[in-house]
Amino acid sequence: MISSIRVLAREEFGIVQLKVIIPHQNETGTRKDEHGVIIPAYFVREGSVTLNGAPLLDIELGPSVSKDPFLQFRFPGKKGDALKVAFLDSRNELFASETVVQ
């Protein structure tokens, strides 16, 4: 099962600004619910970005990233470049998306 993520990539003056939003509750594992029971940790752990098939970024995230992680990166590129973005959470669920730089 592959869940979807929102990826936006816009080029301006030769620099691509990449925005990634992963819909994920990102539980730290230290929070308690109303009955005082600890909510188990559940968060996005790893990610990778490739540009035209070449690796661009390897990302590792800890549990202290906010709910619905919103990440931004910048790199040189041009309109029409193919981007692949993939993330994996602590339950090994894959979040992936492919997009084209605009």
Partner 1 sequence: MKRRQFIATGAVCSAYFLSMSPERLFGAWKAKDFQQCTIEQAFMAALGTRMPVSSEKITIVAPPIAEDSSVVPVQVISSLKSEVLYLFAEKNVTPLVFKCTLQGNVLPWFSLNIKMKDSSTLYAVVKSDGIFFMTSVHVEIVAQAC
Long-range Cβ contacts of 49-56 (<8 Å, 24+ apart): 49/18, 49/73, 49/83, 49/84, 49/85, 50/83, 50/84, 51/75, 51/77, 51/81, 51/82, 51/83, 52/81, 52/82, 53/82, 53/84
Residue 102 beta carbon to partner 1: minimum distance, rounded to whole angstroms = 18
Binding stretches for partner 1 (CB under 8 A): 2, 15, 28, 30-31, 45-46, 48, 50-51, 53-67, 69-76, 84, 86, 88, 94, 96, 98
Closest CB to partner 1 among residues 61, 101 = 61
CB of 85 to partner 1, least distance (A): 9
